[in-house]
Amino acid sequence: MSQTVVVLGTQWGDEGKGKIVDLLTEQADAVIRFQGGHNAGHTLIINDQKTVLHLIPSGILRAGVQCIIGNGVVIEPTSLIKEIKQLEDTGVSIRDRLLISQAAPIIMPYHIKLDQLREAGKGDGAIGTTGRGIGPAYEDKVARRGLRMGDLCDKDSLRDKLQEVLHYHNFVLENYHRDQPLDFDAVYADICAQADILQPMIEDVTEHVHELKSADKKLLLEGAQGSLLDIDHGTYPFVTSSNTTAGSAATGSGLGCTDIDYVLGITKAYTTRVGSGPFPTELFDDDGEKLAKEGVEFGATTGRPRRCGWLDLVALKRAIQVNGVTGLCITKLDVLDSFKHIKLCTSYEQSSGFPQSAAQWQAIKPVYKTMSGWQSTTRGITDYDDLPNEARELVNFIEEFTRTPVAIISTGPERNENVIKAHPMAN
Ligand code: GDP
Ligand code: IMO
Ligand code: MG
């Protein structure tokens, strides 16, 4: 019996993690976010009603489930408070079941400003970040000068720390970027007001998750972004600034590596990417447009159109390795319903090993296996035997190629539109 399950993306994000976390939360006692920040946009659709979550774990729409933001997450207080209030406005209780790690780094206004100034300065070479200050906040964490949520509990020491770090960032803003400095009094007043709201939810999350483990509670760990956006294993430098892979579920929550029983890797039945960077199977033809249209591929956080292409099994295999994926979940199978032929990338031409640099990514060419489409609707199918033969052949091929079992197939955006072959929490 798996007590502790990690759910993460195996591509460049937006694989449908939110939907699957919400689904599995039916069996869970607590859901923990362990990395990323409000660059994430996780969509839940329940009875036609859409909720997009950015920082709050995707278990929040299941009454009574505890939701935890771990130390690996960078938190922008204004956004978190806005998200709490928006959910409360729809009648969801939050403050009695949301816990925030005292060790989570805070995204401050200067981080957002720096992110946006740098991107603007890069012109065509921009990474295409979400402009949310994610990178600069993680830099401050690693540089050991960042503010953390625990600092909100002592305003005098917060004042001193802010003074020092703002002095540094204002120097960079004025002298490197030739921009306006931020006013200390205004920044301090804002963070103090936010502290008053958030303080009651801040605690030692590591202690708490181990109490839950000791009480035999079932835990879900929710990843953000995807494995190819990982700071170490992704398509560097076109990546995010955190480790998005499974090891982060331990370091970003306070659990030990051996506490994790199962890693569920989510992959779309095709591929999308938001922002710049390598994407070998990207399509610029009618098929690409059709994927975008049928899959409604627009970013949940920034609204940007997502780049679309065929499923890349070479990249998926790599993601399975670096995460130690136990089982796969294939989402958006229904998006392929009307395709006559479906392609899967099975190798890269002109590559010696997995590409490591942007130049190596550019030099490779995808080699495809073409499979027959099914040209009938799979939307909402819940029984594996009801899937068309061609769809089952696609699933079998993915399993054989990756040597990894497919545990779940998602056949629509609604909570209950899934084929569950093997429930990750039940074996
Ligand atoms: P996340 O960031 O990984 O949580 O994914 P997003 O929420 O950003 O993007 C996934 C999108 O696909 C959302 O709009 C979901 O509602 C939608 N979605 C998820 N699973 C399915 C599916 O099986 N079929 C279809 N058609 N849409 C899905
Ligand atoms: P979810 O959790 C898709 C991308 C950005 C950009 C790069 C760096 O919804 O899957 P950042 O703001 O993190 O410094 O941007 O990473 N990116 C995502 N793409 N889904 C996400 O989150 C993403 N979060 C960041 O588009 O290319
Ligand atoms: Mg998303």
DSSP for 267-325, please give it.
Answer: EESSEEE-SSS--TTB--SHHHHHHHHHTT-B-TTT-PBPEEE-EEHHHHHHHHHHHT-
| CA-proximal residue: ligand 1, atom 14 (nearest) | 43
Q: Is the peptide bond before 237 cis (omega within 30 degrees of 0)?
A: yes
The Cα-based distances of 148 to 156, 272, 329, 403 in angstroms read 14, 33, 34, 41
In this prediction, the residues of the chain whose per-residue pLDDT falls under 50 are: none
| 42 in catalytic set | yes
Nearest to 239 by CA among 213, 277, 201: 277
Q: For the beta carbon of residue 252, count every other beta carbon within 10 angstroms.
A: 26
Checking phi first, is residue 126 left (phi over 0); if not, alpha (psi -120 to 50) or beta? beta
Structure tokens at 95: 């403050």
| 312 in catalytic set | no
> Which position has the token pair 């909720």?
51
Nearest to 231 by CA among 148, 135, 152, 318: 135
First to last CA, the chain: 5
Asked whether 299 and 332 are in contact (CB, 8 A), the reply is no
- CA–centroid distance for 166 within its chain: 29
- Provide the pLDDT for residue 427: 55
User: From the alpha carbon of 418, which atom of ligand 1 is closest?
Assistant: 23
- Provide the pLDDT for residue 303: 84
- Provide the pLDDT for residue 268: 98
| CA-proximal residue: ligand 2, atom 20 (nearest) | 13
Which of 14, 34, 39, 227 best tests ligand 2's pocket when mutated (most atoms within 8 Å of CB)? Answer: 39
Cite the beta strand spans of 58-136 per DSSP E.
Answer: 66-69, 98-101
- Provide the pLDDT for residue 300: 74
Q: Is the pTM of this model over 0.75?
A: yes
| Residue 171 CA to ligand 2 centre (angstroms) | 28
Asked whether 318 and 354 are in contact (CB, 8 A), the reply is yes
